[in-house]
Amino acid sequence: MRVIAGVAKGRTLKAVPGTNTRPTTDKVKEAIFSMIGPYFDGGTALDLFAGTGGLGIEAWSRGIERTVFIDREKISIDIIRQNVQTANMGSAAEIYRNDAERALRALAKREQKFRLVFLDPPYKMTTMDSLMAQLVEYEMLEPEAIIVVEHDAANRYPEQMEHFEQLKAAKYGDTAVSIYKYYIQDSHDGRETDVNE
């Protein structure tokens, strides 16, 4: 695993030992960033099931100003810290050990808003649409924020969800990537909707 492009290009990242964590391959990572970027002009990213931190580090390397990394496993947190150091992110990284829903509540209390969100959970988890709804409920997304969901190719997420429109969907073997854009306006009837509805 390596950083593909940007200021940390070529840096080699460590994988989490064992088989519980499935890092995004360089091929899939390159495809994701060609779909959503490939480069960014500031903003904050959330890497919610960070694992190795590879997606959040890549986003920062390509111009995201700051990345918040969340994982519930201590071993992953240790690897993220090492990878962030390898990439020389310094204060551009915030790393927390927590489960996803608790982490969202804690970040919402700090009125944290994100331009880019990566949801790459263990494949047995198929509730990323619920987490996306929570991000809306907690008002954690910038207008037109991008959500990247990496999931088992056997599981399909809807093209349209309230406040979200699927921009792209692609399969790479057993892995699928679904990319959404957040809209405050209700795209079905054109009226402005309150994000608290």
Q: What CATH number corresponds to the domain at position 70?
A: 3.40.50.150
pTM exceeding the 0.75 threshold for the entire prediction:
yes
Q: What is the pLDDT of residue 116?
A: 98
Q: Is residue 191 part of a domain?
A: no
Q: Is residue 15 part of a domain?
A: no
Q: What is the mean pLDDT of the chain?
A: 91
Q: Is residue 52 part of a domain?
A: yes
Instruction: Assess whether pLDDT exceeds 80 at residue 185.
Output: no
Q: What is the pLDDT of residue 194?
A: 42
Q: Is residue 134 part of a domain?
A: yes
Q: Is residue 62 part of a domain?
A: yes
**Domain interval for residue 138:** 27-182
Interval 74-90: pLDDT, tens: 999 999 999 999 999 99
Q: What is the pLDDT of residue 19?
A: 59
Q: Is residue 45 part of a domain?
A: yes
* Percentage of the chain modeled with pLDDT above 70: 92
Higher pLDDT, 190 or 5: 5
Q: Is residue 80 part of a domain?
A: yes
Give the strand order in the sheet containing 175-182.
93-97, 66-71, 44-47, 114-119, 141-152, 175-182, 164-172, 160-161
Instruction: Assess whether pLDDT exceeds 50 at residue 33.
Output: yes
Q: How many domains does the chain have?
A: 1
Interval 120-134: pLDDT, tens: 998 889 999 999 999
> Residue 166 phi/psi, 5° resolution?
-75, 125
- Answer positive or negative: Cα dihedral of 36, 37, 42, 47: positive
Q: Within a 10 A sphere around the Cβ of 67, how many other Cβ atoms?
A: 30
Q: Is residue 9 part of a domain?
A: no
Q: What is the pLDDT of residue 188?
A: 46
Residue 111: alpha-carbon gap to chain centroid? 18
